[in-house]
Amino acid sequence: MRVICSFIIAFSTYSRIPMPQVEWSDENRQYAMCFFPLIGAVIGLLLWGWLWLCDVLGVGLLLRGAVGALLPLVVTGGIHMDGFMDTSDALASWQSRERRLEILKDSHVGAFAVMGCAGYLLLTAGLLSEAAAAHGPMLLCTFVISRAMSAWALAAFRSARPKGMLDSFAQAAHKRMVTIGCIVYAAVCALVWALCGGWLALACLLTAALCLVYYRHMAYRHFGGVTGDLAGWFVQVTELALTAVMILGGKL
Tell me the whole-structure pTM to 2 decimals: 0.92
Alpha-carbon distances, residue 120 vs 20, 55, 81, 111, 198 (angstroms): 33, 24, 9, 14, 27
* Identity of the amino acid at 73: L
Catalogue the long-range contacts made by 105-110 (C-beta closer than 8 Å, 24 or more residues apart).
109/85
CA distance 61 to 206: 29
Q: Which amino acid is at 183?
A: I
pLDDT number for residue 172: 54
Q: Tens-of-pLDDT digits for all 252 residues of the chain? A: 778 888 888 899 899 999 888 877 777 777 788 899 999 999 999 999 999 999 999 999 999 999 999 999 999 999 999 999 999 988 888 788 788 888 888 777 888 899 999 999 999 999 999 999 999 999 999 999 999 999 999 888 888 777 656 556 555 556 778 888 899 999 999 999 999 988 899 999 999 999 999 999 999 999 998 988 999 999 999 999 999 999 999 877
